[in-house]
């Protein structure tokens, strides 16, 4: 296996990052939080050093994610798309991780990472195409190093670990980001991936988007652990619980994790505490398993409202938000129309990607079907 | 180079080791790993000496976690490497099954050819060695049924080397099943040079006129023993070694059945819903009008492979193969 190679890095910085994981020990159930629900800075020392422009940009990203998300749900309701997993509530996690990823960094997503994927260069058109039932939506034309979404729960954690080994072996300056839900932490692949990551010291940043529910099952029925970050203890990895609805806390932890990994220290596990404001997918009905009161309670922590309050307090937000949302809606709608106008699915698309070197039998199956189509056509 | 190839006598174990060594030597993207695959060289010593020669970054031990061995191997394959991963036994390949069926086999299709998964998953398979439970299984049908994979089973040292090299060079993922029963039982002169045997091509080992026998892996040797008995009985057998299970070489099989008009299929996996069933389908779809007797399967029972005391009743013996050959010819 690979040995750790320490690059020359700013020692004080590394020390500070390591301290972050020590200071917020998951065994004591501590949580990293920088602004409160009213947008007030409660942990000035850890506030990431971001200029106003970057903060405004982050807010715009989050606003765009939510607009696109709500529109996706609405397209589905109109019967123009088969399904969609809403990401509403996850915007701070998505913006913060996306903004800390470089073009060469890898993303092994599950399926509730639309915002992160967008910041990596995936387009809403591609997202829409996929949920309209076209695999072409996973052929990300402009996004570098993004794997197709993983629907098989938890399996992407292992792919990320393998990519981590690969980039380290090839001595590439690339980090790997992957994410899982709270439910996914119960899968064996979650533990196997983190165990291997600890031994191999791979440059992978593992995120648990703990949004409180795995479809209908609350996190308390998923584990008896005090939190999910503490699972890192078992694998000898640094772990931390972070307020996933606090953009600044998420930004700070991703920056720290990236520096930690770049310095050759290996992987970290981040539990981002959030709330899935929407349904699991558009086929799900959350009223069956959670209360309105609970939803309202979590609404107070909404990541977009919090960041907005922070900006208002500082007086840095000067744009007309309604106009901005209207502009985003037009953009999203344009992408949706492009997806709807995508070329029709061809018979070739069913077959041509199964193998690099297509077996004769598969060619025969296709040609048999073509003969059937010719017969069918002749009967018209 | 002199015109003459340098040859060495090798077992299947040595031939696979030699193939891995050649690929590790010429291609830095090849890595080899699995449980005990590093320091010890695997429980059957297939990877013996490779870590010492090629380094601990390229040939290494992993924790006991088959899903992770395959899943991380896939991650490596997607990002520029050509991993050859070892699962210790046939019956221990199942914890990795979800990674194989849900990810390894599909990444190329899922990503619309944006990503390839050039990896080899190799494991010893089959019975006849008086082993514990989970150490005697023939799961080729399980893997051959998964779209996106190629499944290879060698039967000789020469084939093991050539097929392994082809498997590592394949841009599609390959399940490579090694007949553990004959790992060391067969010795053969094998070229020391690099050579490969194309995937998807069966081989007619012996030409004959009365009946086609189709087999693969460890059953080839048993069929050859049965053929001695058949010859004494005046029956001319054409023996085909599949070499690759999927893609299956229909053409070679059908051509032979059309010639002989009869087919006996020999495999040690449970009979129902098996590769034997697929071969029956080929006989019917491709050579129906040429058949002079019903195609016959000589296969394992639909049972668990018994432990040592009962194993000989399960394992397919040469006389049982001959018994079915004779019945088919006399039909």
A317 and A246 in one domain? Answer: yes
What is residue A157's predicted lDDT score, i.e. its pLDDT?
98
Q: What is the mean pLDDT of chain A?
A: 95
Q: List the single residue in A189, A352, A355 with the smallest CB-CB distance to B71.
A: A189
Active-site hit among B54, B108, B135, B158: B135
Report if residue A95 sits inside a domain. Answer: yes
Q: List the single residue in A2, A136, A355 with the smallest CB-CB distance to B148.
A: A355
A365 and A273 in one domain? Answer: no
Is the CB of residue B203 less than 8 Å from the CB of residue B243? yes
- Full 3-state SS string of chain B: CCCCCCEEEECHHHHHHHHHHHHHHHCCCEEEEECCCCCCCCCCCCCCCHHHHHCCCCEEECCCCHHHHHHHHHHHHHCCCEEEEECCCHHHCHHHHHHHHHHHCCHHHHCCCCCCCCCEEEEEECCCCCCCCCCCCCCHHHHHCCCCCEEECCCCHHHHHHHHHHHHHCCCCEEEEEEHHHCCCCCEEEECCCCCCCCCCCEEEECCCCEEEEECCCHHHHHHHHHHHHHHCCCCEEEEECCEEECCCHHHHHHHHHHHCCEEEEEEEECCCCHHHHHHHHHHHHHHHHCCCCCEEEEECCCCCCCHHHHHHHCCCHHHHHHHHHHHHHC
Please name the residue of chain B whose CA is at the shortest distance from the CA of residue A359: B247
Report if residue A6 sits inside a domain. Answer: no
Interface of B with A in 72-91 (CB under 8 A): 72-81, 83
Residues of B in contact with A165 (CB under 8 A): 72, 75-76
* CATH topology (fold) of B203-330: Rossmann fold (3.40.50)
A335 and A371 in one domain? Answer: no
Residues 6 or more apart whose Cβ sits within 8 Å of residue B71: A155, A157, A158, A159, A161, A162, A189, A192, A193, B96, B99, B103
Residue B121 C-alpha, separation from nearest chain A C-alpha, in angstroms: 15
**A contact set with B (CB within 8 A):** 1-2, 106, 108, 135-136, 138-140, 145, 147-148, 150, 152, 155, 157-167, 169-170, 188-189, 192-193, 195-196, 199, 352-357, 359-362
A219 and A365 in one domain? Answer: no
A105 and A214 in one domain? Answer: yes
What is residue A18's predicted lDDT score, i.e. its pLDDT?
58
* Domains of chain A: total: 2
Whether residues B102 and A360 touch (CB distance < 8 A) is answered with no
Q: What is the DSSP letter of A112?
A: S
In 10 A of CB B305, how many CB atoms?
Answer: 25
Is the CB of residue B239 less than 8 Å from the CB of residue B265? no
A361 and A291 in one domain? Answer: no
Residue A311 C-alpha, separation from nearest chain B C-alpha, in angstroms: 40
Residue A192 C-alpha, separation from nearest chain B C-alpha, in angstroms: 6
Range of the structural domain that residue A356 is part of: 346-380
Q: What percent of chain B has pLDDT over 70?
A: 99
Determine which of B33, B58, B71, B255 to mutate to test the interface with A (most A C-beta atoms within 10 Å): B71
Please state the pTM of the whole predicted model: 0.95
Q: With an 8 Å Cβ cutoff, is B99 touching chain A?
A: yes
Select from A76, A27, A9 the least CA-distant residue to A238: A27
A230 and A83 in one domain? Answer: yes
Residues of A in contact with B70 (CB under 8 A): 158
Residues of A in contact with B144 (CB under 8 A): none
Q: What does the pLDDT look like over B237-275, one tens digit per residue? A: 999 999 999 999 999 999 999 999 999 999 999 999 999
Domain boundaries, chain B: 10-191, 203-330
What is residue A275's predicted lDDT score, i.e. its pLDDT?
98
> Catalytic residue numbers of A?
276, 280, 289
Measured over the CA atoms of residue B195, residue B83, residue B125 and residue B304, the dihedral's sign is: negative
Residues of B in contact with A158 (CB under 8 A): 67-68, 70-72, 74-75, 99
Q: List the single residue in A138, A160, A189 with the smallest CB-CB distance to B110.
A: A138
A352 and A333 in one domain? Answer: no
Q: List the single residue in B56, B73, B114 with the smallest CB-CB distance to A162.
A: B73
Q: What does the pLDDT look like over A199-240, one tens digit per residue? A: 999 999 999 999 999 999 999 999 999 999 999 999 999 999
Residue B2 has pLDDT above 60, yes or no: no
What is residue B209's predicted lDDT score, i.e. its pLDDT?
98
A364 and A296 in one domain? Answer: no
A70 and A219 in one domain? Answer: yes
Q: What is the DSSP letter of A56?
A: H
A192 and A135 in one domain? Answer: yes
CATH placement of domain B10-191? 3.40.50.970
What is residue B75's predicted lDDT score, i.e. its pLDDT?
98
A380 and A325 in one domain? Answer: no
Q: What does the pLDDT look like over A99-144, one tens digit per residue? A: 999 999 999 999 999 999 999 999 999 999 999 999 999 999 999 9
Whether residues B79 and A361 touch (CB distance < 8 A) is answered with no
What is residue A19's predicted lDDT score, i.e. its pLDDT?
82
Residue A162 C-alpha, separation from nearest chain B C-alpha, in angstroms: 4
Whether residues A356 and B116 touch (CB distance < 8 A) is answered with yes
Q: List the single residue in A160, A354, A357 with the smallest CB-CB distance to B171.
A: A357
Residues of A in contact with B147 (CB under 8 A): 354
Residues of A in contact with B255 (CB under 8 A): none
Residues of A in contact with B251 (CB under 8 A): 360
| CATH of residue A195 | 3.40.50.970
Q: Note whether B10-191 and B203-330 share their fold.
A: yes
Residue B8 C-alpha, separation from nearest chain A C-alpha, in angstroms: 32
Q: List the single residue in A139, A155, A352 with the smallest CB-CB distance to B102.
A: A155
pLDDT band per the 50, 70, 90 thresholds, residue B4: confident
Q: What does the pLDDT look like over B273-331, one tens digit per residue? A: 999 999 999 999 999 999 999 999 999 999 999 999 999 999 999 999 999 999 999 99
Please name the residue of chain B whose CA is at the shortest distance from the CA of residue A353: B109
Report if residue A5 sits inside a domain. Answer: no
Mean pLDDT of B107-131: 97
Q: List the single residue in A106, A160, A353 with the smallest CB-CB distance to B108.
A: A353
Interface of B with A in 269-328 (CB under 8 A): none
Q: With an 8 Å Cβ cutoff, is B200 touching chain A?
A: yes
Residue B78 has pLDDT above 70, yes or no: yes
Please name the residue of chain A whose CA is at the shortest distance from the CA of residue B248: A361
The DSSP H or E segment spanning A286 is none
Total beta-carbon pairs less than 8 A apart between chain A and chain B: 150
Is the CB of residue B38 less than 8 Å from the CB of residue B59? yes
What is residue B312's predicted lDDT score, i.e. its pLDDT?
95
- Tens place of pLDDT per residue across chain A (380 aa): 444 444 444 444 555 555 889 999 999 999 999 999 999 999 999 999 999 999 999 999 999 999 999 999 999 999 999 999 999 999 999 999 999 999 999 999 999 999 999 999 999 999 999 999 999 999 999 999 999 999 999 999 999 999 999 999 999 999 999 999 999 999 999 999 999 999 999 999 999 999 999 999 999 999 999 999 999 999 999 999 999 999 999 999 999 999 999 999 999 999 999 999 999 998 999 999 999 999 999 999 999 999 999 999 999 999 999 999 999 999 999 999 999 999 999 999 999 999 999 999 999 999 999 999 999 999 98
CA distance B323 to B326: 5
Q: What percent of chain B has pLDDT over 90?
A: 98
Interface confidence (ipTM) of the complex: 0.95
């Amino acid at each position: 296996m690979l040995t750790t190679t320490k690059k020359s890095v700013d020692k004080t910085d590394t020390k500070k990052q390591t301290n972050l994981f020590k200071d917020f020990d998951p065994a004591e159930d501590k949580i990293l939080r920088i602004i409160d629900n009213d947008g007030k800075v409660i942990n000035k020392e850890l506030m990431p050093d971001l200029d106003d422009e970057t903060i405004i940009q982050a807010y715009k990203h989050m606003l765009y994610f939510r607009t696109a998300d709500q529109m996706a749900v609405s397209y589905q309701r109109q019967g123009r798309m088969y399904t969609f997993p809403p990401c509403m509530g996850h915007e701070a996690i998505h913006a913060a991780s996306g903004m800390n990823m470089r073009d060469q960094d890898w993303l092994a997503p599950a399926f509730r990472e639309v915002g992160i994927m967008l910041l990596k260069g995936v387009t809403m058109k591609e997202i829409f195409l996929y949920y309209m039932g076209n695999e072409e939506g996973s052929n990300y034309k402009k996004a570098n190093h993004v794997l197709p979404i993983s629907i098989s729960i938890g399996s992407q954690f292992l792919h990320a670990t393998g990519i981590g080994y690969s980039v380290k072996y090839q001595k590439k300056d690339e980090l790997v980001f992957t994410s899982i839900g709270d439910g996914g932490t119960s899968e064996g692949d979650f533990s196997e991936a983190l165990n291997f990551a600890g031994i191999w010291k791979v440059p992978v940043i593992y995120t648990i988007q703990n949004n409180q529910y795995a479809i209908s099952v609350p996190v308390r029925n998923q584990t008896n652990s005090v939190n999910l970050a503490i699972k890192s203890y078992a694998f000898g990895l640094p772990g931390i619980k972070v307020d996933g609805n606090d953009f600044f806390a998420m930004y700070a932890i991703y920056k720290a994790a990236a520096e930690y990994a770049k310095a050759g220290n290996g992987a970290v596990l981040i539990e981002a505490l959030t709330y899935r404001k929407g349904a699991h997918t558009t086929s799900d009905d959350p009223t069956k398993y959670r209360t309105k009161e609970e939803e309202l309670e979590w609404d107070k922590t909404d990541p977009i409202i919090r960041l907005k309050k922070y900006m208002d307090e500082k007086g840095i937000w000067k744009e007309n938000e309604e106009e901005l949302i209207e502009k985003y809606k037009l953009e999203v709608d344009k992408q949706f129309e492009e997806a709807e106008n995508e070329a029709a699915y061809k018979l070739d698309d069913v077959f041509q990607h199964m193998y690099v070197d297509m077996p004769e039998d598969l060619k025969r199956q296709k040609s048999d079907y073509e003969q059937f189509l010719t017969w069918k056509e002749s009967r018209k | 180079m002199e015109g003459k190839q340098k040859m060495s006598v090798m077992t299947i174990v040595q031939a696979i080791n030699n193939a891995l060594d050649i690929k590790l030597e010429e291609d830095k993207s090849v890595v080899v790993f699995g449980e005990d695959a590093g320091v010890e060289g695997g429980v059957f010593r297939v990877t013996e000496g490779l870590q010492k020669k090629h380094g601990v970054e390229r040939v290494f031990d992993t924790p006991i976690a088959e899903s992770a061995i395959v899943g991380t191997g896939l991650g490596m394959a997607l990002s520029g490497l050509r991993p050859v991963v070892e699962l210790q036994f046939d019956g221990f390949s199942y914890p990795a099954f979800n990674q194989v069926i849900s990810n390894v086999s599909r990444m190329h299709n899922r990503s619309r050819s944006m990503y390839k998964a050039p990896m080899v998953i190799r494991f010893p398979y089959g019975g006849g060695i008086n082993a514990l439970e989970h150490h005697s299984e023939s799961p080729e049908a399980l893997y051959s049924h998964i779209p996106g994979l190629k499944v290879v089973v060698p039967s000789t040292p020469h084939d093991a080397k050539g097929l392994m090299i082809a498997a590592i060079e394949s841009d599609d993922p390959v399940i490579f099943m090694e007949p553990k029963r004959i790992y060391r039982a067969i010795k053969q002169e094998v070229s020391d040079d690099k050579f490969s045997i194309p995937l998807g091509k069966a081989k007619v080992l012996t030409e004959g006129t009365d009946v086609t026998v189709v087999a693969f892996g460890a059953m080839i040797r048993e069929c050859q023993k049965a053929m001695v008995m058949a010859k004494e009985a005046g029956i001319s057998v054409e023996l085909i070694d599949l070499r690759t299970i999927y893609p299956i070489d229909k053409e070679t099989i059908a051509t032979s059945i059309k010639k002989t008009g009869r087919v006996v299929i020999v495999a040690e996996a449970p009979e129902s819903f098996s590769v034997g069933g697929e071969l029956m389908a080929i006989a019917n779809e491709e050579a129906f009008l040429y058949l002079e007797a019903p195609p016959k399967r000589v296969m394992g029972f639909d049972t668990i492979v018994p432990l040592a005391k009962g194993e000989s009743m399960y394992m397919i013996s040469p006389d049982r193969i001959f018994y079915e050959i004779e019945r088919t010819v006399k039909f």
